């Protein structure tokens, strides 16, 4: 890992602090457990505890491939950015329980400052996603949000933003008014520090639930926005992608659209580039979008041209889908060098 210095760009992320509990399984096991394949669904605490126990008892799983990894979309992105040598900090909430303490320690060990200490005496436990990975690489995610969804503006300390050049937000936290207020405060703090604020739309269903607020956010304090085809179409309620992107660039300076298997589209102040993806056989799709954002933000924060930043995103995404888990295992910077990007 490249070690950051005080002179390297500083990226802050805000999102759900969710422990990923990942294990391979067989197709039939999903049906037995009543799990819909390939989607992320929110579950209650009791259901999450049942699925954790079921996962532990799954004899079809290769236990060596089971793992517990500090996750959450933005946290995964920050881990990727930190691994590339930039300074990173994560604003999120965990309880002072076994999962929360492990989450905080893993985050710090990976080089990202975990800003808020575990909350003692919380009625809500730390958040977790129980992920079942089938042989085709599809992830079926069952998320219990717990304490992380309670993050509010009081958890955003303006002092953390001193020197921050980039802020990255997670659309999933938009489900509560306190999360929206935290986003607005963070964007104000970032801009006051001279930085740029951006968001990942996260999920078309998330966009459906909060379309008006997302539209205001994209057209207001956001300097860059990352979404996939379905999220952009949902945001502007149009079927034609080009029309959705036309509306997006009228609202926001930098617009990025990923298209699962097809070229990514990046648009900034009149410049539009299409960046080809790297095709690999998927082992686990967990974290592909998160690491695309990591490579992209690294490129933008480092002053690379738009096409180069997009290429970095695609390279980082291709690495993470080649193994189980949402964070890079290979030297991504070495891959950038091999491609002549650094």
Phi, psi (rounded to 5 degrees) for 329: -115, -25
Say how far apart CA 132 and CA 51 lie, in whole Å. Answer: 10
Q: What angle do CA 11, 14, 16 make, to 5 degrees?
A: 140
- The pTM for the full model equals 0.88
Phi, psi (rounded to 5 degrees) for 299: -65, -45
- Which whole-number Å values give the CA distances from 339 to 131, 280, 311, 312, 333, in the listed order? 33, 16, 9, 9, 10
Say how far apart CA 201 and CA 206 lie, in whole Å. Answer: 8
- Grouped pLDDT means (10 residues each) for the chain, 342 residues: 62 94 89 89 93 79 68 92 95 96 94 95 94 84 93 95 94 86 95 96 86 92 95 96 96 94 91 87 78 96 96 94 82 95 92
- Which whole-number Å values give the CA distances from 341 to 82, 295, 336, in the listed order? 18, 11, 5
- The pLDDT of residue 205 is 82
Span 53-70, pLDDT tens digits? 888 887 655 555 678 889
Report residue 288 as tokens. Answer: 């592909």
Strand order in the sheet with 254-259: 112-114, 87-91, 10-14, 166-170, 196-200, 224-228, 254-259, 262-268, 271-275
Say how far apart CA 74 and CA 259 lie, in whole Å. Answer: 19
- The pLDDT of residue 283 is 75
Q: What angle do CA 125, 127, 128 make, to 5 degrees?
A: 125
Span 169-202, pLDDT tens digits? 998 888 888 999 999 999 999 999 999 999 999 8
- The pLDDT of residue 39 is 82
- The pLDDT of residue 142 is 94
- The pLDDT of residue 59 is 61
Residue found under tokens 């990894």: 69
Region 10-17+73-116+150-338: CATH code: 3.40.1190.20
């Amino acid at each position: 890992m490249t070690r950051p210095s005080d002179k390297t760009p500083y990226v802050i992320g805000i999102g759900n602090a969710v422990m990923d509990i990942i294990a391979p399984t067989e197709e039939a096991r999903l049906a037995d457990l009543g799990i819909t394949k390939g989607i992320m669904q929110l579950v209650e605490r009791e259901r999450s505890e049942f699925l954790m126990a079921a996962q532990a008892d799954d004899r079809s799983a290769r236990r060596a491939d089971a793992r517990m990894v500090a996750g959450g979309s933005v946290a995964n992105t920050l881990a990727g950015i930190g691994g590339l040598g930039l300074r990173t900090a994560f604003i999120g909430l965990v309880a002072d329980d076994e999962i929360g303490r492990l989450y905080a320690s893993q985050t710090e060990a990976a080089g990202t400052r975990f800003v808020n200490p575990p909350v003692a005496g919380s009625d809500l436990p730390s958040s977790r996603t129980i992920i079942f990975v089938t042989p085709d690489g599809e992830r079926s995610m069952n998320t219990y949000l717990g304490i992380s969804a309670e993050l509010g503006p009081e958890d955003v300390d303006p002092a953390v933003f001193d020197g921050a050049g980039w802020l990255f937000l997670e659309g999933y936290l938009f489900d509560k008014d306190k999360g929206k207020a935290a986003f607005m405060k963070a964007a104000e703090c970032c801009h006051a520090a001279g930085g740029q604020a951006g968001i990942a739309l996260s999920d078309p269903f998330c966009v459906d639930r909060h379309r008006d607020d997302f539209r205001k956010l994209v057209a207001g304090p956001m300097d860059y926005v990352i979404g996939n085809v379905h999220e952009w179409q949902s945001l502007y309620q149009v079927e034609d992608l080009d029309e959705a992107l036309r509306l997006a660039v009228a609202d926001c300076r930098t617009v990025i659209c990923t298209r699962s298997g097809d070229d990514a589209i990046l648009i900034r102040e009149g410049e539009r580039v299409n960046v080809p993806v790297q095709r690999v056989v998927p082992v686990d799709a967990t974290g592909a979008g998160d690491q695309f954002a990591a490579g992209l933000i690294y490129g933008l924060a480092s002053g690379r041209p738009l096409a180069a930043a997009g290429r970095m995103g695609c390279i980082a995404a291709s690495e993470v889908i080649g193994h189980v888990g949402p964070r890079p295992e290979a030297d991504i910077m070495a891959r950038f060098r091999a491609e002549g990007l650094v």
